Structures are given as C-alpha cells and as structure tokens.
Amino acid sequence: MSARAALPPRAHDPALHELLVKTIKGLTMDAVQKANSGHPGMPMGTADMASTLWSGFLVHDPAQPRWPDRDRFVLSAGHGSMLLYSLLHLHGYDLPMEQLQQFRQLGSRTPGHPEVDHTPGVEVTTGPLGSGFAAGVGLALGERLLAARYNRPGHEIVDHLTYGIVSDGDLMEGIASEAASLAGHLGLGKLVYLYDANRITIDGSTDVSFTEDVAARFTAYGWHVAEVDGHDPEAIAAALEVARAELSAPSLIVCRTTIGQGAPTKAGKSSSHGSPLGAAEVEGAKRAMGWPLEPTFYVPDELRAGLEARRGALTELRQDWDRRFAAYEAEHPELAAQLRAAWADELPEVAMAALDALRFEAGTAVATRKVGAKVLAALVEPLPSLVGGSADLAGSNGVDIPALGWQSREQPGGRGIHFGVREHGMAGVCNGLALHGGLRPFDATFLIFSDFMRGALRLSALMRLPVVHVLSHDSIFLGEDGPTHQPIEQCMSLRLVPHLHVVRPADANETVGAWIHALQRKRGDGPTAILVSRQDLPVLEHGRRDVSRGAYVLWEPAKVAVADLHAIVIATGSEVSLALEAAHRLHEVGLPLRVVSMPCWEAFEAQDQAYRDEVLPPSITRRISVEAGVTVGWGRWASHHVGIDDFGASAPAEVLAEHFGLTPEALIERIRALP
C-alpha cells in the first residue's frame, strides 16, 4: 500500500504530450545551437520517455525542490542536460528562460552537465557514465531504509520512487553493472529506470562494441525487465504502471528509441550526439514537426497553460504530505525530530558525547582500523542516520558492526551494507545515499582499492557530499600481501582531489578525531577519507583527539627555543610514532627536533597564517617529512623527504621497514645528515 496510489493526472491528452515533446526538442536544438556546443541527440530521442514520466508519474513540487518525500529523477546520461533543463523550466522550477539561453556559459545554472545544488531540481551531478545509475541505486536504497525505520502504521511519511533515464553508455560501464547487481540482490522495488536503447554510441552503432542481451543480463541480476517502443507514450506509460507496482525488484524498461529523433538527416546517427545539429538541420527539424523557426526558444502558450493546470495537483500532493508529516510529528515527536536532524546533517550532541567517551591511554597500542570499529559501534544508537559498509572487507576495514543491522530484503531498515566486491559501485551508491538526505553514509575498502572507486569518489567531492570513505591497510606495513595491495601513491593522490579531506591519523585518539572531523562536515563541505592502519600503532602520549586544525606540535624537548631546533619532522599516520622515537633518541644525544603530526593537510591549509606559522615557523626551513608513500607533494611543507617512491614488496612488516628505510635508525641517520 503506497501513497503513490495518489499520482498526478496522467497526460491522457495526446496533444499536450506532443506539444511538450516538440518544445523539448525545440529548446534543445536552440540552446545547443546558441552555445555552439552540446548534445542534441539524447534529449530529442528521449523526449517521449521523459515527457511520459514527468506528466503522469513523477511526484514533485517545483516550488519546493527539496521536499523530502519527492520522487527522485536521475538523468544518468548527463550529457543530455538540455532534456532536464527543459523539463525543469517548463514545469516551473526556478530556472527561467534566460538561464536556458545561457546554456553552457560561465556562471549559468545550465552547465554542460547537470550539477546538483547548483540548479534547482537537479538531483545528481551526472556526466561520467554509469555514475548516475549507481547514485540512483543509492537514492532508492536510502528511501527504503528510511521508510523502514521511520514509517509507522498510518504514517507513510517516506514513500517515494526513484526514476532515471539511463543510456547504452551507462550500461556498458562497470560501475553500473556493480550497482545493478546490488540493486537486484537487495530487491529495490522502488527503482525504475527507463533505458534509452538508441543503439548508438559516439563510435557509431552499438553493433561495434555492445551486442550483449541487456534485458537478459538485467533479468539475471534479478530485475523486472520490460521492453517498449520508446516513442509510444501509451506503451511507456503502461510499462511504468507495471514497474512501479513491482515492489520486489528494480525495473528496467528498455525503450527502443531513435537518437536525435526529428532531425531530418542526422536522426538515428551518432552525428546527432555531441555537436550542434547546424542551422539547416535545425530548420528542417522544426519544419518537419510544424514548429515556428522564429522565435527560437519557443514555448507555446497552450503548453505553459496545460502544465500550469497540472501543477495544482502536484502542490496538493505535497501539501497533503505536509499535513501527514505534521500528524506524524504529533504522534511520534522523537522520530520526527530525529528525521529533521538527519535532514540537516546535524551531528547530535549524544553522538558527540559517545565519541568523547572513547579515550585511549598512552602506553597501549591499537590498530587504527580497529578504532574505527569502536567509533562506529559507539555511534549506532546516537547517530541514527549512520549507514554504510564495506566492499567485502567489513572485518578488515573495521566496519563490521552487526548492531547496525544488515540491510536486506528481510531487514530493509538495516544500516549495515554488504556491498560485495564492488568498490566503484559502493562509492556511487554512497553518493546516492548522501544525496537522498537523512543519511550519513560511509564506505570502506583497502586504501589501494580507492583506485577502483576513484570516479565516484571524485564525484562525492565535486558534489560536496559528506560521505566518509574508510580506507584501511594504508601503507606497505600491511606486509605480506605485497605490491598489488600496498598503497604507495594513493594517499597523496587523494590529497589532490579538491574538497576531499584526507585524514591519516597517527594513533587511536587521532582516529576518533578523524571521525569527529568527518561527521562535522555537512552537505556543501565535502567528503572525508580516513586512512587507517592494519598494524597496531602506539597510543601517543601527547597525541590529540582534535584534528580539526590539521596539524599540531606533538612533541619537542622542553625549554628549547624555536631558534635552537635542529629541524622539524613532519609525519602522518604510522610514521608519527617512528618520528617520535627518532626525535627522542636524538634529543638524548643533544639534537633537538620538533615533531609535528599532520593528520589532515586540507584542514591545516584552512587555518590562519598565524597558526600555521606557530606549528611550522618560517624561520625553520630544515624540515623533513616522513610518510610511507610517495614524496612528490611534500615539498609543500618540507625541504627533505623520507618516503617510498617505488612499489612495495611482499614480506613481513618489520622486514619491509628495514628494506624501505622506515626504522628509527634509518631516520636518525637521515636527520643527522640533513644539510
């Protein structure tokens, strides 16, 4: 029993449908032509599909684009952005005609590919193929999870669908395969994708590279699959009816379409895909569909009127939800308050208190990945929005938290997710969970396999989503698994991603701090990668819990003036205790060093100059960085570097420490030899 029984009025009006389709085509051709750049083929080929969906199925309120219970629409084939911009404009989102006319111009709300939190009504930043597909799976999973946790009898306050349009290109990408397999496994019944099967890619016909039986593949994943003529609105609508009623499996509606439909010579050809059609082709297309050549960006009044008439019904649905949520709030005030806090990405005080209680005493030793497990266990109750899991390394990554409940068909409210060996899909799904709202997702794998999820991880940074990426086994010190598993360049490489905070904590207390830092970041800030060790690390005597300033003076000999320091040693993660030991020993022989722990470059960079100069006084230019990874990049902070600029090796950790010169003895030698 779904509130979705209430739907906006269907476009029984074929004339209105036709007008909408033609207008989308016209706007698309004109915008691409004016920008002299863009992708006309996809919007023209999918105008029928999209119009059918938006006219009769999609529940949304253009006046309140962030209404929590709206249906989500994902344009996975993001290059078809003019389709989405046309729909948003025509349906009354805050995207006026001037914006369409500024398609692909600096500062406009109509960039080349759709960008969430930039254009009202855009749910996901798409463009890299397959990524939107995975994000949609996350959106649908988020809905199911919140519905299971928050709905109460008579109060279905979370109850919406996730729709999307996906392309041949999307379905060739591995990330989509991974997410599709997971969605089928979980049985995400409220996920409905229209597949724009135009059989054209940039290189030409899909015959040249993509001849698999997509329908059979998705059936094998456990999806409900239908196939229709993608230019027959009644057939599409009928398939959508069936799909949205199928609650035990996600749906793929294969829509056979013609790319660039309506273009006189380029329809059905890859030449309509990624370039302006050209004035003659546009003219031909407009003439053929009985459209005025002038003005460009033409929108018939009767279309505006027709769509306006329907908007009332959508507003009523949203208002009805407002009333229903008020009733829910009256009856379940605590749940409602929880949800509101979660929607706002708030870190509840009880959660902070739970983390505050996690303290580790110097003199003990613990692997920082295991600290992560303690952090998560402490958050299960006080942070109800917490959700996530690992790509089949839950125990190893320190994210095996049975108390979260394992997400499954039988336990749709489970907040622990077995993602399977699907790193890229995992990160893409987590983006969707974060985009949904009301959830604080984390994913986890070995640091080395951040390489596998880099596409989606970058999108989490570009969308500024507060996803937490837990990356364990953060150096060669994982030992015997060898060079295929030993990160060398990964830590530095993640630091290069804008808006991603990379935290490599030195010990247990810094690890708790890393989580606090990560959870205090909100939507609009960005994701955090927490790099944790496989091996035990000593709990540092003066180690801090607060990593929010990025770096701090961990130790230096008492009563030594800054001017008398021989050098500063800057280290991260497991190398901090190494640096400390070297510094202690050198202190014994009269060589005073300052040891700086620098768990988070990005946070340190955000400090004012005074603090940065306090930690790294400009007068001390003899500085040595110590990190078990590439040294390129460390020139930002240090003049000399200890690191590893080649691949690792398979051996026990202590043997590797000797081999790669990461022992106190070797470090002491380097420091003594500093020019």
User: Smaller CB distance to a copy of itself: residue 67 or 85?
Assistant: 85
The footprint of a copy of itself on residues 370-409 (CB under 8 A) is 390, 392-396, 400, 406, 408
Instruction: For residue 391, give Cα distances in angstroms to 370, 398, 517.
Output: 17, 12, 23
* The binder of a copy of itself chosen from 3, 468, 656, 667 (CB under 8 A): 656
User: Smaller CB distance to a copy of itself: residue 256 or 584?
Assistant: 256
Overall residue count recorded for the chain in this entry: 675
Is 448 a binding residue for a copy of itself by CB under 8 A? The answer is yes
* The binder of a copy of itself chosen from 54, 93, 163, 452 (CB under 8 A): 452
The contact pattern for a copy of itself, residues 142-171, with x = CB under 8 A and - = no contact, is: --------------------------xxx-
User: Smaller CB distance to a copy of itself: residue 163 or 660?
Assistant: 660
Instruction: For residue 452, give Cα distances in angstroms to 138, 424, 447, 456.
Output: 18, 6, 10, 9
Is 663 a binding residue for a copy of itself by CB under 8 A? The answer is no
The footprint of a copy of itself on residues 501-540 (CB under 8 A) is none
User: Smaller CB distance to a copy of itself: residue 262 or 479?
Assistant: 479
Q: What is the DSSP letter of 606?
A: T
Shortest Å distance, C-beta 166 to a copy of itself: 12
| Cα dihedral 173, 176, 182, 184 in deg (nearest 10) | -110
φ/ψ (deg, to 5) at 262: 105, -20
Shortest Å distance, C-beta 167 to a copy of itself: 9
Burial label for 444, CB within 10 Å (0-12, 13-18, 19+), is: buried
Is 269 a binding residue for a copy of itself by CB under 8 A? The answer is no
CA-atom Rg of the chain in angstroms: 27
User: Smaller CB distance to a copy of itself: residue 32 or 267?
Assistant: 32
User: Smaller CB distance to a copy of itself: residue 69 or 575?
Assistant: 575
Shortest Å distance, C-beta 630 to a copy of itself: 5
Segment contacting a copy of itself by CB under 8 A, of 13-21, 459-467, 540-548, 574-582? 459-467
The contact pattern for a copy of itself, residues 106-135, with x = CB under 8 A and - = no contact, is: xxx--xxx-x---------xxxxxx-----
CA distance 487 to 497: 17
User: Smaller CB distance to a copy of itself: residue 69 or 115?
Assistant: 115
Shortest Å distance, C-beta 660 to a copy of itself: 10
Cβ contact 131:76 at 8 Å? yes
Shortest Å distance, C-beta 344 to a copy of itself: 25
User: Smaller CB distance to a copy of itself: residue 14 or 204?
Assistant: 204
**Residue type, position 10, single letter:** R
The footprint of a copy of itself on residues 174-233 (CB under 8 A) is 174-178, 181-182, 184-185, 201-204, 208-217, 219-222
Shortest Å distance, C-beta 495 to a copy of itself: 7
* The binder of a copy of itself chosen from 80, 189, 388, 425 (CB under 8 A): 425
Q: What is the DSSP letter of 634?
A: G
User: Smaller CB distance to a copy of itself: residue 195 or 321?
Assistant: 195
CA distance 289 to 302: 17
Cβ contact 539:360 at 8 Å? yes
Residues 6+ apart with CB under 8 A from 540: 362, 506, 507, 509, 510, 554, 576, 577, 580, 597
Burial label for 583, CB within 10 Å (0-12, 13-18, 19+), is: buried
Is 35 a binding residue for a copy of itself by CB under 8 A? The answer is yes
Q: What is the DSSP letter of 71?
A: P
The footprint of a copy of itself on residues 620-649 (CB under 8 A) is 630, 632-636, 645-647, 649
Cβ contact 494:450 at 8 Å? yes
Shortest Å distance, C-beta 566 to a copy of itself: 22
Segment contacting a copy of itself by CB under 8 A, of 88-96, 289-297, 620-628, 654-662? 654-662
* The binder of a copy of itself chosen from 1, 330, 357, 496 (CB under 8 A): 496
**Residue type, position 545, single letter:** R
| Cα dihedral 93, 76, 441, 188 in deg (nearest 10) | 100
* The binder of a copy of itself chosen from 238, 242, 352, 421 (CB under 8 A): 421
* The binder of a copy of itself chosen from 34, 231, 469, 485 (CB under 8 A): 485
Q: Which residue of the set 281, 423, 510, 556 is catalytic?
A: 423
User: Smaller CB distance to a copy of itself: residue 348 or 482?
Assistant: 482
* The binder of a copy of itself chosen from 492, 580, 662, 667 (CB under 8 A): 492
CA distance 228 to 238: 9
Using DSSP's 3-state secondary structure scheme, residue 325 falls into helix
Q: What is the DSSP letter of 624?
A: E
> Helix and strand tally (H, E) in the chain?
24, 20
CA distance 222 to 230: 23
CA distance 432 to 492: 26
CA distance 423 to 75: 22
Which structure tokens are listed for 126?
A: 């798409």
User: Smaller CB distance to a copy of itself: residue 454 or 549?
Assistant: 454
CA distance 396 to 645: 26
Instruction: For residue 591, give Cα distances in angstroms to 102, 556, 564, 598, 662.
Output: 63, 11, 9, 22, 20
Segment contacting a copy of itself by CB under 8 A, of 297-305, 345-353, 372-380, 490-498? 490-498
Question: Dihedral sign, CA of 92, 93, 97, 100?
Answer: negative
To the query of whether residue 423 is one of the catalytic residues in this protein, the response is yes
Is 43 a binding residue for a copy of itself by CB under 8 A? The answer is no
User: Smaller CB distance to a copy of itself: residue 440 or 464?
Assistant: 464
Q: Give all strands (DSSP E) within 1-145, no chain letters.
A: 72-75
Which structure tokens are listed for 605?
A: 């960079």
The footprint of a copy of itself on residues 63-92 (CB under 8 A) is 78-79
Segment contacting a copy of itself by CB under 8 A, of 345-353, 457-465, 543-551, 577-585? 457-465
Using DSSP's 3-state secondary structure scheme, residue 18 falls into helix
* The binder of a copy of itself chosen from 199, 499, 549, 585 (CB under 8 A): 499
User: Helix H segments across 471-548?
Assistant: 490-495, 508-520
The footprint of a copy of itself on residues 463-482 (CB under 8 A) is 479-482
* The binder of a copy of itself chosen from 2, 64, 101, 105 (CB under 8 A): 105
The residues annotated with a catalytic role in the active site are 423
